[in-house]
Amino acid sequence: MAQACPQCSESNQVLNLAEFWRSLSQDAELKATLAQPPPYEARYVVSLALGAVAILCLTTGSAPAILLGVVLLLAAGGSVAWFWRESAEREAARAAWSRLLYCRRCVRQFPPDKALAA
């Protein structure tokens, strides 16, 4: 069963976006605008640095340094959670991109569940 564009109801111009994107030449204008979102690059070195400084503070023995160490440890954990969440969201966007359909007639991207049956 062919899938038709929800805007123009054409089915012969509807393609899988990923396949269409791969078929474009490298210098095509649409190659950049239709590209899959790039993978997220988590900066875990920030978390590692925070954790390392936190451990240094915790091992000094003085109360203010221990308090600072606890705060830095919480910041390190929070940054790991942040990077993990951002990475998961980006991967979901990348997976959604690979399922998108593309209408060449009205230059529109849409998920398969929004396509009309043709």
Residue 103 in the binding site for Zn ion (CB under 5 A): yes
Residue 34 in the binding site for Zn ion (CB under 5 A): no
Residue 11 in the binding site for Zn ion (CB under 5 A): no
Residue 31 in the binding site for Zn ion (CB under 5 A): no
Number of residues binding to Zn ion, judged by CB under 5 A: 6
Select from 2, 32, 106, 118 the one that contacts Zn ion (CB under 5 A): 106
Residue 115 in the binding site for Zn ion (CB under 5 A): no
φ, ψ dihedrals at 3, nearest 5°? -110, 135
For Zn ion, which is the closer residue by CB, 42 or 116? 116
Residue 67 in the binding site for Zn ion (CB under 5 A): no
